[in-house]
Structure 1
Amino acid sequence: MITKDTPLKDIISQNRLLQSVVERFNFKLPSWNVSVQQACLLNGENPDFVIGILKAFDENTDFPTQELMSFSLTSILNYLKKTHEYYLSKKLPEIELSIENLIRDYAPGSPSLVHSGSLFLTYKEDLIKHIWEEELELFPYIEYLQTTKLQGFKFDVHSKLSKYSISTFIHSHDDHEKGLESIKEIILAAANQREPVMAYRIFLIQLEIFSKDLQKHSMVEDEILIPMALKLEKELNNILRN
């Protein structure tokens, strides 16, 4: 069980998925021997929130919906922005480099690798587009709702709420884990055609971890962010109508 007293080194040694969660907080630390509590105090993070996120990614723990719902929309949004930055600056480039190395070293005897590389590039472009849609449309809209509630209604509020809505996002929300699974199946088929060299195994592990990470990321959005934002949006629309 992860608590505020658990050393970070123990968390990241449990599994690679939890390591990826710790990495996105980008803690600046004297060592990994410090506890979650100490790491958060040193880096201005809320230890209770970090524990909640770690629980969400822990495969041995039920998804902590109610616990995460107790935090502010601002905390959820800031975390999701950290995750997007982590995907864009670290995870996607790492996976792309791995598949480039595979294609360079093994493509002559495995044409399906070239196909999988092309699929991954298309997948990456779609995922990046989705991330920027959230960063440039959904997140600013939610932040606008928050500001309106805190500071009062402005002249443009009716226009803002009529041009965009949370339901707009829900209808366009893609299932990116499935796209990654199809790429992984092609890589597996290619690997079965020859000796399962270490490069294949490393790449498959990367895809597996990222697929699970995306699944948990989607759960934070779908089960925490969206219900909280819908509630706020409904509250403001009700005020407008009355």
Structure 2
Amino acid sequence: MKSLATYSNPGAKPVTFLEKIESYDTWRLDYLCDHIVRKHHAYIYETMPVISELAHKVADEEGHIHREIIRVYQIFRRMASHITRHMMKEEKVLFPFIEQLVEASIENIKVSRPFFGTVNNPAQIMQVEHEEADADMIMIRKVTRNYTLPANASESVISLYEKLEEFEKDLLLHVHLESNILFPKAIKLEKELGLS
């Protein structure tokens, strides 16, 4: 398995991608929320406009040669709009409540039931939105033939495909952290606090 990072000790065994993912399971939920916002949401806010603008430029300039780029731009633009709304809901509503749950657990205090009922309600909506983003990335991967560069690809097309593939990798980890770690553990904590 390829190593994404190694310890500072040169003799130490490299940390694999799977080990890196697994370690998030031990994090406090408020730290995980903060990490998701600071790393993954920030990455998306920074990268999405760049990719969208580049895809638009390539579609305009080379769409007559590489028709698939037009479709990539359309899919990505739609997905970007959905992802932005999705992240705002997490940052303004769900994550602050999860942070309240952690505080209530640590301080042994009561927390009021949120307007959305239980964590499970928005988590289910978020999961559907994760699946929609995943479907969009699968479609982009299909349209680009797994990011296979077309013959005589320009520097712009090469850059676009590289950025899309990097975006997809970050999105997969981001969705994994929320769907498989954060949401299930928040639902469990909410039950432990007697709120569900």
User: Aligned to 1:167, which of 107, 115, 120?
Assistant: 120
CA–CA distance in structure 2, aligned partners of residues 116 and 124 of structure 1: 12
Change (3 A) 1:6 1:96: farther
CA–CA distance in structure 2, aligned partners of residues 124 and 207 of structure 1: 12
Q: Is the 8 A contact 2:48 2:80 kept in 1?
A: yes
User: Aligned to 1:115, which of 71, 74, 81?
Assistant: 71
CA–CA distance in structure 1, aligned partners of residues 9 and 121 of structure 2: 41
User: Aligned to 1:224, which of 181, 185, 192?
Assistant: 181
Partner of 2:26: 70
User: Aligned to 1:134, which of 52, 77, 90?
Assistant: 90
CA–CA distance in structure 2, aligned partners of residues 64 and 186 of structure 1: 29
**More helix per residue: 1 or 2?**
1
The 3-state SS of whatever aligns with 1:163 is coil
User: Do residues 98 (structure 1) and 101 (structure 2) align?
Assistant: no
- Structure 1 residues 18-57: Cα deviation after superposition (integer angstroms, max 9, x where no partner): xxxxxxxxxxxxxxxxxxxxxxxxxxxxxxxxxxxx95xx
The 3-state SS of whatever aligns with 1:118 is helix
Q: Is the 8 A contact 2:59 2:70 kept in 1?
A: yes
User: Do residues 5 (structure 1) and 5 (structure 2) align?
Assistant: no
Change (3 A) 1:226 1:6: farther
Q: How far did residue 62 of structure 1 move?
A: 4.2
Partner of 2:41: 84
Q: How far did residue 204 of structure 1 move?
A: 1.5
- Percent identity between the two aligned chains: 20
Letter in 1 for 2:97: Y
Q: Is the 8 A contact 1:184 1:204 kept in 2?
A: no
The 3-state SS of whatever aligns with 1:108 is coil
Change (3 A) 1:218 1:6: farther
Runs of 4+ with >6 A deviation: none
- Structure 1 residues 154-187: Cα deviation after superposition (integer angstroms, max 9, x where no partner): 5xx1x42x73322113321132222122123324
- Structure 1 residues 44-90: Cα deviation after superposition (integer angstroms, max 9, x where no partner): xxxxxxxxxx95xx54x44543x3232222211110111212211x2
CA–CA distance in structure 2, aligned partners of residues 103 and 139 of structure 1: 37
User: Aligned to 2:142, which of 161, 168, 185?
Assistant: 185
Partner of 2:163: 206
Calculate the TM-score normalised by the size of structure 2: 0.77
Q: Is the 8 A contact 1:95 1:206 kept in 2?
A: yes
Q: How far did residue 4 of structure 1 move?
A: 4.3
Calculate the TM-score normalised by the size of structure 1: 0.64
Partner of 1:35: none
Give 1 or 2 for the bigger CA radius of gyration: 1
Change (3 A) 1:6 1:114: farther
Q: Is the 8 A contact 1:102 1:199 kept in 2?
A: yes
Q: How far did residue 97 of structure 1 move?
A: 2.3
